[in-house]
A and B are shown apart, each in its own frame.
Chain A
Amino acid sequence: MRVGRTHPVAIALVIFAAILMLLPLGWVLALSLKANAALLADTNSVFHAPYTLENYRILFGDGQVFRWIGNSLIVSLGMTAGVLVLSSLAGYGFARLEFPGRGALFVVVLLGLAVPEQAVIIARHQMFSAVSMHNTYIALMLPGMSAPFGVFLMTQYFKAIPRDIDEAAMLDGASRLRIFLRVLLPLTIPAQATLGIFTFLTAWNDYWWPLISATNKAMYTLTVGIASTQMNFAQTEGLGFLMAQAVFAGLPILIVYLFFQKYIVQAVAGAAGR
């Protein structure tokens, strides 16, 4: 689309802003490639050789980070799978089926959209304490599955699929569950992708709930693990090592973003714009 030509000054400003956006990341990457001793002597040494992979060697030798990444993967994938299954079933139910109390239940679910995490987190914490379930994957995954957003999205999506499609299958005598699994579900793949990406990113980046629920170092997710190692970093000692951690924690998700950016941007725009 071409709506007049953009002013060169505007383009220059945006390019300058883009450089500002990238600068902190470049700085961190450079620091992570410096020996800690050299940084202690002079942070300006960032701008010239020698560079080293020593910090990454220590990071990989540690092993703890891999445990945290593993936890983050289990929690994020588990939550995503849970949200997709629960939301698809409920979305189909609310969009297509008649049952007692349907309207009222759907309104209650929609009202849930307005409840922020802060309003429920203390009681949630007490509930998991009461059944001694903190520091388990279930405790880390389950709260995220209650978010009403997925149900809302899937209900809208199922409503938009023409009714003739499943009515034809119903005339053939297929069962409800079969129609759902074989006929309708394959049609919702774009919505599943949107919801899946959105849930995965949210789960991967979640900080508050894992911080409260996972108190055992072995159950930390990556966000909490990285946070726990940043606490004593006023001393420049270990700066390069910390930055190697930041690069290691940030880079995989940035690479995933570069591959899937079209879908991620669509998912985020679609999710927020509704």
Chain B
Amino acid sequence: MATAFSEPTAPIPAEPPKRRQAATWGNLLFVVPYLTVFAIMLVIPLGWGIWLSTTKGDLFGTDRWVGLANFIRLFRDPIFLETVWNTFYFVLLTVPALAAIGLALALVLNRQTRWAAVLRTIFFASTVLSVTVVTLVWRLVFLPDGGLLAVVTKALGGTPVAFLNDETLAMPAIAITTIWWCIGLPMVLFLAALQQVPRDLYEAAALDNASRWTTLTRITLPAIRRTFMLVLIIEIILQFQLFGQPQLMTLGGPNNATRPIVLFIYETGWRQWELGYASAAAQVLFVMILLAAMAQYRVSSRREET
């Protein structure tokens, strides 16, 4: 702030001498509270969970070491294999749709008008609802007798379908529910990426009289390529963990058609109390998610290089 009485500007002082900070045990105190919770709630349970997966409990509650027997049993268990297939099928149904619809919405809604803002709000709003509310709403949409879809079908002169009781339609119905619930996140990520595309690229394209399609495929899409990969991987990791929707909408049925891995873990662990077996299934899922997370790490570290 310059006032009439301000002193003449002092010469800029030279860089203060770099003082190498001493590594002290006292400084550790800042990270100890978190590290304690981290160790007790994450590191120890992780190790314990891996150990549990090699044990089998008996009626007296003591664990017997069985080596890899649980894993061998898992890969021979037709129900577990079906849950693995169901999980992949669900990921396949939801992730490409979430990426494509999210991108389409972001492309249309990336503008500073009031209408675009209102629409963005609508598309993101369902994301803040909990899975319990979402499934409550959607069970009612799919209800064959008086549900929203049934009412619409009847009004159009058709026969209502019992989506959640049909082996082939139940998983797509859960996928639609999930897309409705989760579409906000990919949209927001794409919107954030679109804001980063340098404007002069578009100006140059406009000077060249590039068509809308050329601008999209030659400029926009290459520029947000990494976000696209990131969305795919984040959604794969998230959707691999499918649990609440089938647990609340179909209980895994009909005939196991919607039973994902996490529901298998839950039921094996807390319905049948086979903790070793459930842990083994959890470790299989962990490895799958780890592979996806490693892919994410590679993508995001490559992003920082450029």
Contact = CB atoms under 8 A, between A and B. Distances in A.
| A and B co-occur in one complex | yes
Interface of A: 1-4, 6-7, 10-11, 13-15, 17-18, 21-25, 27-28, 31, 39, 43-44, 46, 85-87, 89-90, 92-94, 97-100, 102, 105, 108-109, 112-127, 142-143, 145-146, 148, 151, 167, 171, 176, 180, 201, 204-205, 207-208, 212, 222-224, 226-227, 230, 233, 236, 239, 242-243, 245-246, 249-250, 253-254, 256-258, 261, 264-265, 268-269, 272-274
B83 interface: no
A120 B262 CA distance: 12
A146 B42 contact: yes
A224 B135 CA distance: 12
Contact of B215 (A4, A124, A142): A4
A224 B195 CA distance: 39
Nearest to B183: A21
Interface of B: 16, 21-28, 30-31, 33-35, 37-38, 40-46, 48-49, 52, 101, 104-105, 107-112, 119-133, 135-141, 145-148, 151, 180, 184-185, 188-189, 191-192, 195, 199, 202, 206, 212, 215, 220, 227, 230, 234, 237, 241, 243-244, 248, 261-262, 265-266, 269-270, 275, 278-279, 282-283, 285-286, 289-290, 293-294, 300
Contact of B139 (A85, A125, A233): A233
A26 B250 CA distance: 23
A224 B139 CA distance: 17
B49 A120 contact: yes
B38 A146 contact: yes
B199 A93 contact: no
Given A123-B48, A212-B270, A114 B121 contact: no
B30 A89 contact: yes
A269 B131 contact: no
B130 A15 contact: no
Contacts of A27: 137, 140-141, 148
B286 to A, nearest CB: 4
Contact of B234 (A117, A207, A272): A272
B124 A94 contact: no
Contacts of A201: 128
Contacts of B127: 268
B212 A4 contact: yes
Contact of B21 (A97, A125, A245): A97
Contacts of B105: 14, 17
A21 B180 contact: yes
A14 B108 contact: yes
A131 B48 CA distance: 16
A164 to B, nearest CB: 8
B128 A257 contact: yes
B28 A273 contact: no
B285 A250 contact: no
A56 B23 CA distance: 61
5 contacts: A14-B119, A118-B262, A119-B282, A253-B130, A258-B121
Given A14-B108, A122-B269, A122-B282, 17 more contacts: A4-B206, A6-B108, A17-B123, A28-B136, A97-B21, A97-B30, A98-B22, A99-B28, A115-B42, A116-B241, A116-B289, A118-B285, A121-B45, A124-B41, A145-B37, A204-B130, A268-B127
A273 B23 contact: no
Contacts of A24: 137-138, 140-141, 148, 180
A118 B23 contact: no
Contacts of A14: 104-105, 108-109, 119
A268 B185 contact: yes
Contacts of A99: 23-28, 31
Nearest to B41: A146
Contact of B124 (A17, A97, A148, A265): A265
A226 B123 CA distance: 24
A253 B129 contact: yes
A11 to B, nearest CB: 7
Nearest to B291: A114
B288 to A, nearest CB: 9
B188 A269 contact: yes
B123 A246 contact: no
A242 B137 CA distance: 10
B180 A3 contact: no
